[in-house]
């Protein structure tokens, strides 16, 4: 009893002592605020090593940050002590005072002058009157490219966000200028045709199908592949007959009959019997041979090399290519665009997972029939249609590879439509089919602010833009990673994360450089590979639209997420041009890529 009472007493005394000590203990000492007493140079260039002298810097040196005026121009010292820091001048550094931040606070250092030559690139992240950008004009012909662009991944891709660019010259003793307001540069709407809307819908339905019923049942697959000679010479097919009806509804399909016109090592070419009734106005055997042999001998191997292998659910080791006027009739006459062909993921399924009458249970493409007399809706000359079918096969084969990889091997992971279509246009490019990409790219270059690279509708302009974006990335990173496109397909990533995974870079940082490349590539302004296409001559694809920015005249316009306007500004010899950037409609995380081009 005595021991128990003594223990309680000791415990109580101990707790009181502990509490008393806790209350009397002083607070944790705070680090003293840093100070900056000097720098090794006040005229600097990105990449230089700057030595900063002072006191109370955090140790190790990596516990400090140095900001070179621009909110994006921040660098971490690589060496130092409590009284000295060594830091590499950041790529995005701009002229003005440096700021050193440590555990004890921050300190402002002397004004720095950042020197840049022709072709030098940086991104400015400051907005409003507290973040004025000052650019020197050392020659009478100095010119800057200024590119406002949106970087907020949460901003709706179809929304326009207004901006203002205010500018003046630092002319000594001059009366401050009253900025004039220039005409508003307003982005044009993208062109979403029947093909683009159909493509967006079919991918949504494809992934909805995966989420609803899962991956195709492998139990329905044949145990042995039939010999090539067993390909039926005459067989029925279900063909989707509407660009807007549900793919999973049997009422939206025609049942047609087709003849086998070509048997190859990688494909079987069938022709709807309706196309054979009038040979003078349709394909003859040489066209079927040309289509099949091009796929067998070139397209299939090229796509597999760049994007990966694909499924074989019917076990025949071949892709079926079906030419049918049902595809022609999907496009109303005079619609201004047309559905050139398609692959449907539902063909990789079998009943009862999907309704009977909606699947051919095979890897299959559906292509246009030649129709010079417009018997089935729109005129399609024989030579044009034959060439279109070959390039469409390259495009749709990438979709087949991507979707079969993602549903069979990656658990049905959804790919964003804008990137999926960009990859298919890269397949056209890699197979040597450039005409369609040139047309879409030309539309995009006329107004790169009018459509987001991430536009899920994948309209004509967006397709031109995302193709160019991927083409530049392959030019830049393909030598080090020749499988980068395959890595995108064979992964569980989606959209931006796919781009970041294969490059190791932030998507919007890459976009900033891409927008500059649209002007710089091939101009001899810089040899930097970030800004030059090596596999194509961009001039063959069009010229990017630019506006003249007049100092003292306010430039106004609209951009979207992952879209950009381009301005060229001339300055006054010997005087800095000051820029103030404003989001008049906030929410797009506006940044400005800057390049001295002259």
Q: Give the model's pLDDT for residue 196.
A: 84
Do 296 and 251 lie in one domain? The reply is yes
Q: Give the model's pLDDT for residue 173.
A: 37
Q: Determine, yes or no, domain membership for 322.
A: yes
22 pLDDT band (50/70/90 cuts)? very low
User: Average model confidence (pLDDT) for the chain?
Assistant: 90
Q: Determine, yes or no, domain membership for 357.
A: yes
DSSP structure class, residue 295: I
Q: Determine, yes or no, domain membership for 490.
A: no
Cis amide linkage into residue 136, ω under 30° from 0: no
Do 161 and 276 lie in one domain? The reply is no
- Domain-ending residue, one of 411, 430, 456: 411
Rounding to the nearest 10 degrees, give the CA dihedral for residues 18, 22, 28, 29. Answer: -100
Q: Give the model's pLDDT for residue 335.
A: 60
Question: What are the tens digits of pLDDT across the range 302-358?
Answer: 999 999 999 999 999 999 999 999 999 999 876 668 999 999 999 999 999 999 999
Do 401 and 343 lie in one domain? The reply is yes
200 pLDDT band (50/70/90 cuts)? confident
What integer is the mean pLDDT of 418-435?
97
Q: Give the model's pLDDT for residue 576.
A: 92
Do 263 and 371 lie in one domain? The reply is yes
Query: 140 is in which domain, residue-wise?
Result: 124-189+545-596
Q: Determine, yes or no, domain membership for 507.
A: no
CB 499 within 8 A of CB 507: yes
Do 229 and 353 lie in one domain? The reply is yes
- Domain-ending residue, one of 112, 141, 160: 112
Main-chain phi, psi angles of 417, to 5 degrees: -60, -40
Do 177 and 232 lie in one domain? The reply is no
Question: What are the tens digits of pLDDT across the range 366-388?
Answer: 999 999 999 898 999 999 999 99
CA–CA gap between residue 586 and residue 164 (Å, rounded) = 11
Residue 492 has pLDDT above 70, yes or no: yes
Pairing of strands 267-272, 319-323: parallel
Lowest mean pLDDT among 40-54, 136-150, 188-202, 331-345: 188-202
Do 237 and 384 lie in one domain? The reply is yes
CATH of the domain at 69: 2.60.40.10
What integer is the mean pLDDT of 431-444?
96
Do 390 and 242 lie in one domain? The reply is yes
Q: Give the model's pLDDT for residue 188.
A: 60
Q: Determine, yes or no, domain membership for 505.
A: no
Question: What are the tens digits of pLDDT across the range 333-346?
Answer: 766 689 999 999 99
The sign one gets for the Cα dihedral 275, 279, 282, 285 is: positive
Do 152 and 242 lie in one domain? The reply is no
Residues sharing a CB contact under 8 Å with residue 239, sequence separation 6 or more, in sequence order = 253, 254, 255, 256, 322, 324, 326, 327, 366
228 pLDDT band (50/70/90 cuts)? very low
Do 307 and 232 lie in one domain? The reply is yes
Q: Give the model's pLDDT for residue 184.
A: 65
Residue 118 has pLDDT above 90, yes or no: yes
CA–CA gap between residue 168 and residue 575 (Å, rounded) = 10
Share of the chain above pLDDT 90, in %: 79
| Helices (H), ranges, 349-381 | none
Do 317 and 362 lie in one domain? The reply is yes
Do 297 and 359 lie in one domain? The reply is yes
Helix (H, G, I), strand (E, B) or coil at 273: helix
Residue 482 has pLDDT above 80, yes or no: yes
- Domain-ending residue, one of 411, 441, 461: 411
Taking alpha carbons only, the member of 281, 383, 385 closest to residue 328 is: 385
Q: Provide long-range contacts, Cβ within 8 A and 24+ apart, for 58-61.
A: 58/31, 58/34, 58/82, 58/102, 58/103, 58/104, 61/85, 61/86
CB 363 within 8 A of CB 371: no
Residue 531 has pLDDT above 80, yes or no: yes
Q: How many domains does the chain have?
A: 3
Q: Determine, yes or no, domain membership for 528.
A: no
List, in sequence order, every residue forming a beta bridge with 591; answer none if it has no partner.
Answer: 149
CB 562 within 8 A of CB 150: yes
Share of the chain above pLDDT 70, in %: 89
Taking alpha carbons only, the member of 357, 362, 343, 356 closest to residue 221 is: 362
CA–CA gap between residue 103 and residue 65 (Å, rounded) = 10
Q: Determine, yes or no, domain membership for 101.
A: yes
544 pLDDT band (50/70/90 cuts)? very high
- Residue 391's H or E segment, with its range, is helix 382-408
CA–CA gap between residue 235 and residue 322 (Å, rounded) = 11
Taking alpha carbons only, the member of 269, 298, 295 closest to residue 284 is: 269
CB 491 within 8 A of CB 536: no
Taking alpha carbons only, the member of 96, 98, 103 closest to residue 131 is: 96
């Amino acid at each position: 009893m005595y021991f128990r009472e003594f223990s309680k007493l000791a415990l109580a005394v101990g707790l009181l002592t502990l509490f008393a000590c806790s209350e009397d203990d002083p607070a944790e000492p705070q680090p003293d605020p840093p100070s900056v007493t000097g720098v090794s140079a006040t005229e600097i260039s990105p990449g230089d090593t700057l030595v900063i002298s002072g006191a109370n810097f955090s140790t190790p040196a990596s516990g400090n940050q140095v900001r070179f005026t621009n909110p994006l121009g921040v660098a971490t010292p690589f060496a130092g002590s409590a009284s000295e820091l060594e830091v590499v001048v950041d790529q995005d550094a701009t002229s003005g005072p440096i700021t050193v931040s440590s555990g004890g606070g921050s300190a402002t250092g002397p004004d720095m002058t950042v020197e840049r030559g022709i072709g030098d690139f940086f991104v400015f992240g400051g907005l409003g009157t507290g973040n004025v950008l000052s650019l020197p004009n050392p020659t009478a012909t100095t010119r800057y490219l200024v590119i406002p662009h949106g970087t907020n991944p949460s901003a709706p891709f179809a929304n326009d966000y207004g901006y203002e660019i205010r500018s003046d010259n630092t002319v000594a003793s001059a009366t401050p200028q009253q900025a004039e307001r220039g005409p508003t540069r307003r982005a044009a709407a993208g062109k979403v045709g029947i093909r683009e809307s159909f493509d967006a819908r079919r991918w949504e339905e494809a992934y909805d199908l995966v989420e609803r019923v899962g991956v195709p049942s492998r139990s329905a697959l044949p145990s042995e592949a039939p010999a090539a000679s067993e390909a039926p010479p005459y067989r029925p097919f279900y063909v989707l007959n509407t660009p807007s009806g549900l793919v999973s509804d049997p009422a939206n399909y025609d049942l047609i009959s087709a003849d086998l016109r070509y048997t190859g090592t990688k494909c079987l070419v069938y022709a709807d019997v309706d196309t054979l009734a009038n040979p003078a106005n349709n394909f003859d055997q040489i066209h079927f041979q040309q289509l099949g042999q091009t796929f067998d001998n070139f397209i299939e191997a090229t796509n597999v090399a760049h994007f990966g292998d694909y499924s074989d659910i019917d076990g025949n080791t071949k892709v079926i290519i079906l030419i049918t006027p049902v595809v022609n009739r999907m496009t109303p006459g005079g619609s201004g665009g047309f559905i050139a062909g398609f692959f449907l993921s539902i063909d990789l399924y079998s009943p009862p997972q999907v309704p009977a009458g909606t699947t051919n249970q095979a890897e299959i493409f559906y292509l246009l029939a030649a129709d010079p007399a417009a018997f089935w809706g729109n005129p399609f000359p024989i030579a044009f249609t034959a060439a279109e079918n070959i390039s469409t096969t390259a495009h749709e084969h990438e979709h087949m590879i991507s979707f079969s990889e993602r549903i069979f091997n990656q658990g049905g992971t959804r790919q964003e439509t804008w990137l999926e279509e960009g990859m298919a246009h890269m397949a056209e490019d890699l197979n040597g089919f450039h005409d369609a990409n040139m047309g879409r790219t030309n539309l995009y270059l006329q107004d790169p602010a009018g459509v987001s690279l991430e536009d899920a509708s994948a309209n004509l302009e967006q397709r031109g833009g995302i193709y160019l974006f991927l083409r530049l990335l392959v030019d830049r990173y393909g030598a080090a990673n020749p499988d980068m496109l395959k890595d995108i397909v064979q992964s569980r990533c989606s959209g931006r994360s796919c781009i970041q995974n294969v490059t190791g870079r932030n998507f919007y940082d890459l976009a900033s450089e891409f927008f500059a490349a649209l002007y710089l590539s091939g101009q001899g302004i810089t040899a930097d590979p970030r800004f030059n296409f090596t596999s194509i001559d961009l001039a063959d694809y069009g010229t990017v639209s630019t506006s003249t920015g007049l100092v003292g005249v306010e430039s106004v316009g609209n951009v979207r997420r992952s879209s950009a306007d381009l301005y060229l500004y001339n300055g006054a010899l010997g005087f800095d041009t000051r820029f103030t950037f404003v989001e008049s409609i906030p929410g797009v995380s506006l940044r400005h890529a800057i390049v001295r081009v002259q």
